[in-house]
Structure formats: C-alpha cells, structure tokens
Amino acid sequence: MPLLDSKVAIVTGASRGIGKDTALALAEAGAKTACLARNEELVKQTAEEARKKGGEALAYKVDVSKFQELEAVVEDIYGRLGRIDILVNNAGITRDNLIIRMTEEEWDQVMDTNLKGAFFGIKIVSRYMIKQRSGKIINIASVAGVVGNKGQSNYAASKAGIIGLTKSVAKELAPRGIQVNAIAPGFITTDMTSKLKEETKETLLPQIPLGRFGLPQEVARAVLFLASPDSDYITGHVLHVDGGLAM
Ligand code: NAI
C-alpha cells in the first residue's frame, strides 16, 4: 500500500519550485493532493502532473494572505475529499532591501504572505484535524530565519516567526494528535534563487559544507518524511535541509 494511501494533503505555493515538487511527491506517495497558488494556469499544470503520478489532485487559485479566500478553498477541499491530513505551508516571497531602504510595503508584503499566510493556513485547517484527532502540519521556514541574512531582514524575520509559530502550535496541538514541524531549507535552485547575482552565488557556495545548492526534490523528500507515519514521534522540530550551511 502506498505510504500516504487515503490521506488528503494541501500544499500552498504549489505552482512551481519546492511547492510543486512537494505536491508531486505527496501525490506519488498516494495522497489526494490539493495544489494552491496565485497562478491559476501553473497550479492547474501541477495538479495535472500529480494526477499522472496516480493520485487524485485539485487545483485552486488563492492568495494565502486573504483569510476568507483561503477559508473558502479549504472548505471546498474538505467538501470534495472528506478529510484533511496534511498541510504544507510553503507559499513564500522575498522583497529584499537593506534595512535603511526597506519600505513598509516591502515589510508588510513579506510578513503577510510568509507568516500571516501560514497562521491562516494552520488556523483554518487545524479545525478539521482536531475533529479527526490527527494531522501533520509542515511549515517551510528558511536558513535565513535561523542565522539571518543581509538585505533580508523582512524575510528572515518572517521565517524566524515561522519557527516560533511552529513550536507554539506544536505544543498546543500535541494533545490533539497533531504534529507540527518546520523545514529550514538552505539555498535551493528555484525561481526564487535564480534572481541572485552570479557573484552572490559564488560567495555563497564555499559556505555550504556539501559544496552545492540543493534541489527542490530534496526538500520535497524531507516534507514527505514529516508528512508520513514515519515521523509520528517528532513534533516542534526544525529540520535543516541546507547542505550543512547553518551548522
Ligand atoms: P518560488 O518563488 O519558486 O515559488 C513560490 C510559490 O509560492 C509559488 O507557487 C507562488 O505562486 C506561491 N505564492 C507566493 N505568494 C503567494 C500567496 N500570497 N498566495 C499563494 N501562493 C503564493 O519559491 P521557492 O523557492 O519554491 O520557495 C518555496 C518556499 O521555500 C518559500 O516559502 C521560500 O521562502 C522557502 N525557501 C526557499 C529557499 C530557496 O533557496 N529556494 C530557501 C529557503 C526557504
């Protein structure tokens, strides 16, 4: 029997990058997967590819920073698939700037998507998980939230916030049979990091003990572990998938 047979998963930011590969990995493991993102066309493609992996998959265009939009989508997923076992809060953005130049808008946009979006996701989905007395919530943080990063004070603060949120909710929901963990990826090759200048990449590389950037599939595999029964005794953990960068 597939690892996640009869489980229902929700992945935010599933149109590309880490979220897309995560949705595909969950579908391949047998989960019915709801793929959420802002770009309708791309997220439909993810769902289409997930169906080819053998799983049932749904696609939704949604902005995770809008509570009512997200709530309506989750209600629809529950109505169609009958349960919610896994939530992956992956949607995230960067608006980099040095602190003295950073605008309030850049700060707010990053906080609204990365931190408030994860809060909304957990708040909405945990209602269903509490009724089921089971569930797995995986929040995508970042190495920046652990060690900080120049020019990313908004992003690093949002990701450090994700870690505090993960640990607090893990304590609250543990008696309800729900595990809540975070993953802190290092530099992963996606559209988000393709924006980095070549010279920045050259400076970064020697700092990574494993000597290379990571692949989205390598984060997806860590998500799969935290979404599966293999991690039933793990909660409130921050799993570093960073080639040793934060060591
Ligand atoms: P990406 O930019 O390739 O994809 C981001 C996804 O989030 C897209 O599907 C986009 O539609 C979605 N999204 C953004 N804002 C949204 C909103 N308001 N509502 C719904 N969906 C929204 O990014 P990537 O690299 O795949 O990153 C995924 C997650 O991993 C993010 O949380 C990011 O912060 C985190 N991360 C990425 C690292 C990297 O090196 N690529 C390193 C550490 C963390």
Q: Which residues pair with 138 in a beta bridge?
A: 88, 181
User: Quick one: average pLDDT of 75-91?
Assistant: 98
- Are 186 and 215 contacting, i.e. CB atoms less than 8 angstroms apart? no
Tell me which residues are annotated as active site: 155
At position 176, the amino acid (one-letter code) is: R
Query: Cα of 78 to ligand 1 centre, how many Å?
Result: 24
Of all protein residues, whose CA lies closest to atom 12 belonging to ligand 1? 13
> Which pair of structure tokens corresponds to residue 69?
């939009």
Query: Cα of 153 to ligand 1 centre, how many Å?
Result: 17
Taking the CA atoms of residue 140, residue 145, residue 146 and residue 147 in that order, the dihedral angle to the nearest 10 degrees is 140
Band (44; pLDDT cuts 50, 70, 90): very high
Sheet holding 238-241, edge to edge: 57-61, 32-37, 8-12, 86-89, 135-140, 178-185, 238-241
- Whether 54 has a pLDDT exceeding 90, the answer reads no
pLDDT (tens digit per residue) in 126-138? 999 999 999 999 9
- Are 195 and 168 contacting, i.e. CB atoms less than 8 angstroms apart? no
pLDDT (tens digit per residue) in 162-206? 999 999 999 999 999 999 999 999 999 999 999 888 888 899 999
Q: List residues near ligand 1 (CB under 6 A).
A: 12-19, 37-39, 62-65, 90-93, 113, 117, 140, 142, 185, 187-188, 190-193
pTM over 0.95: yes
What rounded mean pLDDT belongs to the chain? 97
Band (1; pLDDT cuts 50, 70, 90): confident
Q: Which residue has the tokens 């190495």?
A: 143
